[in-house]
C-alpha cells in the first residue's frame, strides 16, 4: 500500500512536469490505472467510499457549472452587443452559440447528480 502511494505521487509529479502532451497523457493514464488498482485492492469498501466521496462534490460542482453558464451568458451578451454596434453579419451565429453554451452547461449541471445516484 505504501509503495502504491509512492508510485501515484511520482506519476502526479511526472504528469505536471511533462511538456510533451503524449508523455503527459501516458502519465495520467498510469495515475488513473493506479487509482483503480488501489480501489480494487481495497475491495467493495473502497468503491463505496469513493462513490460517497465523489457524490459529496456534486453539489459544489453543480453550482460551479451554473456560475460558468452565467459567465458565458455575460460574455456572450457583450459580444453580441459589440457585433451589433459594428454591423457584423454573424450576429445570429453568435447569439446561437451563446445560447447553446448556456443550455449545454445548465443541462450538464442538471444531469451531473443523476450519475451518482
Coil, helix or strand at residue 62 = helix
Q: pLDDT value at position 1?
A: 44
Domain match, 19 and 74 both: no
Domain match, 63 and 32 both: no
C-alpha cell at 83: 457585433
Domain match, 112 and 69 both: yes
Residue bearing cell 505521487: 9
Asked, for residue 18, whether it belongs to a domain, the answer is yes
Domain match, 106 and 80 both: yes
Contact 31, 15 (CB under 8 A): yes
Asked, for residue 33, whether it belongs to a domain, the answer is yes
Asked, for residue 36, whether it belongs to a domain, the answer is yes
Domain match, 30 and 79 both: no
Mean pLDDT, range 100-116, rounded to an integer: 86
23 has a pLDDT exceeding 90:
no
Higher-confidence position of 50 and 100: 100
Number of domains the chain is built from: 2
Asked, for residue 100, whether it belongs to a domain, the answer is yes
Contact 81, 88 (CB under 8 A): no
Residue bearing cell 497523457: 25
Asked, for residue 52, whether it belongs to a domain, the answer is no
Domain match, 34 and 74 both: no
Asked, for residue 47, whether it belongs to a domain, the answer is no
Q: Above pLDDT 90, what percent of the chain?
A: 31
Domain with 16 in it? 1-42
37 has a pLDDT exceeding 70:
no
Contact 73, 110 (CB under 8 A): no
Contact 79, 97 (CB under 8 A): no
Q: pLDDT value at position 103?
A: 92
**Cα gap 71→69, rounded to integer Å:** 5
**Cα gap 57→71, rounded to integer Å:** 21
Higher-confidence position of 85 and 52: 85
Domain match, 32 and 70 both: no
DSSP symbol at 59: H
Asked, for residue 50, whether it belongs to a domain, the answer is no
Amino acid at each position: 500500500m505504501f509503495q502504491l502511494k509512492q508510485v501515484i505521487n511520482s506519476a502526479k509529479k511526472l504528469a505536471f512536469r511533462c511538456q510533451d502532451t503524449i508523455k503527459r497523457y501516458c502519465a495520467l493514464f498510469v495515475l488513473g490505472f493506479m487509482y483503480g488498482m488501489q480501489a480494487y485492492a481495497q475491495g467493495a469498501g473502497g468503491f463505496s467510499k469513493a462513490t460517497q466521496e465523489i457524490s459529496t462534490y456534486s453539489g459544489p460542482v453543480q453550482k460551479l457549472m451554473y456560475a460558468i453558464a452565467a459567465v458565458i451568458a455575460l460574455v456572450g451578451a457583450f459580444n453580441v452587443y459589440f457585433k451589433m454596434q459594428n454591423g457584423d453579419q454573424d450576429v445570429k451565429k453568435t447569439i446561437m452559440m451563446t445560447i447553446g453554451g448556456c443550455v449545454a452547461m445548465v443541462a450538464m449541471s442538471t444531469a451531473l447528480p443523476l450519475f451518482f445516484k
